[in-house]
Amino acid sequence: MTHDAAVLKARGIASRVLAPSAGQNDKAGQFSDEAVVSLGESGLLGLMLPADVGGSGLGPRTCAAVIATLAEADASVAMVYLMHILGTATLSAARPSAAQALAPILREIGAGRHLSTLAFSEAGSRSHFWAPISRAHRNGDGVRISAKKSWVTSAGHAHSYVVSSLAPEGTGPTDSTLYLVPAQTRGFSVAGPWDGLGLRANASAPIALDDCQVPADFQLTDDGAGFSAMLNVVLPLFNLGTASVALGLCRAAVAGTASHLKSAKFEHLDQSLGESLPTLRAQLAAMQIDTDGLSARIDDLIEHLEKPRETTMLRVLESKAAAGEVAISVTSAAMRVCGGAAFSKHLGIERLFRDAHAGAVMAPTVDVLREFIGKSLLGMPLF
């Protein structure tokens, strides 16, 4: 599959599967299994996997374009897809001793039949996902894990979960290890409902691990090397992906607002809203400028990821911090410009507004990213 073919497939799924049901799924808080099946059948679940396990071997540029395209129609599905891409990237980068056990799972992903996700955040350490409270305990060749994972996208729908836990002999708060926990593992359960303000259709429910046995083959990193995998494998793609979700939301807000300004009429003046009011045209223009600015920032990040350099980590941190703010600002402007029609939920604009707020809550949060950026500019240690 080429870059263009992948984006075309994403567009097809967005218009055929996502757009018709996004509003209803949001209202009901309903996870779209249909969307996941379509993503699997189109080959997009294995987008970044190598060809030898059935993947397309495509990179961050295509991943970002696919995510933004999906998010324009339904940000909940785009986030499910992003968390799957991250789970898959972690499996793909696992230590060599896990390769044989993981190969059949990677082939299932390549064949579009397996959805993965990340289960990092814990109730005890909240948004500080890099410091799990749970600790793995040695049991024969493997470990046993009990943990309260507070928010897990695709909870109860994913086939596997990449779980963090403190290494059995870890001494510091970031001495974590990553493990693969298949959904059918004894002791694994969805521990509550998901009824969020935004991204309501992505099942980001808590999960509980109650003395789950994880064999040595499913230990994805060396003991204590989970933190490094979080920073080097997960964080760059996560920040790129959440920025791309934000971009899709902004594009949808601009398109929805333009459409409303063209179709809604002041009948007594025989003019559309857009024809009548320069202030609305100016606000629409500002939304477009911010959206294109975000798009340029994402392109810059992609170039930094494709050709890593000294400033790459700074760009990684900046991208999510900036994108979250832009998405909130652009969707807020859309709410204001579309007025009562948006407020009374006739246009779907308020779903974009609510979904945009999730990006700021998802860790690393904007506050934490600013802290990291400020500290790194001053040469201070981040952790």
Ligand X SMILES: Cc1cc2nc3c(=O)[nH]c(=O)nc-3n(C[C@H](O)[C@H](O)[C@H](O)COP(=O)(O)OP(=O)(O)OC[C@H]3O[C@@H](n4cnc5c(N)ncnc54)[C@H](O)[C@@H]3O)c2cc1C
Nearest-5° angle of CA 156, CA 186, CA 82?
Answer: 30
- Determine contact, residues 251/291, Cβ cutoff 8 Å: yes
Give the residue with the Cβ less far from ligand X, 151 or 284: 151
47, containing H or E segment? none
Q: Which is nearer to ligand X, 212 or 261 (CB)?
A: 212
Instruction: Give the nearest distance from C-beta 381 to ligand X in angstroms.
Output: 13
| Minimum distance, C-beta of residue 125 to ligand X, in the bound complex (Å) | 8
Least distance in angstroms from the C-beta of 134 to ligand X: 12
Kindly state the smallest distance separating residue 38's Cβ from ligand X, in Å.
21
Smallest gap from Cβ 139 to ligand X, in A, equals 24
Nearer Cβ to ligand X (120/218): 120
Give me the residues that bind ligand X (CB under 6 A), please.
83, 117-121, 126-127, 129, 151-153, 196, 199, 204, 358, 361-363, 365, 367-368, 371
Asked whether the beta carbons of 315 and 235 are under 8 A apart, the reply is no
Strand partners, 118: 162
Name the one residue in this structure whose structure tokens are 């904007």: 366
Nearer to ligand X, 120 or 188 (CB): 120
Choice between 83 and 337, CB closer to ligand X: 83
Least Å distance, CB 158 to ligand X, is 9
Of 376, 71, 53, 87, nearest to 253 by C-alpha is 71
CB 234 within 8 A of CB 58: no
- Provide, rounded to whole angstroms, the least separation between the CB of residue 93 and ligand X: 17
Burial 304-330 (b: 16+ CB within 10 A, else e): bbeeeeeebbebbbbbbbbbbbbbbeb
Cα gap 62→315, rounded to integer Å: 18
Give 56 or 90: the residue with its C-beta nearer to ligand X: 90
121 vs 160, beta carbon nearer ligand X: 121
List, as one string, the DSSP characters of 113-155: ---EEEE--BTTTBT-TTS-S-B-EEETTEEEEEEEEEEETTT
Q: Which of 85, 231, 75 is nearest to 158 (CA)?
A: 85
Strands 160-166 and 176-182: antiparallel
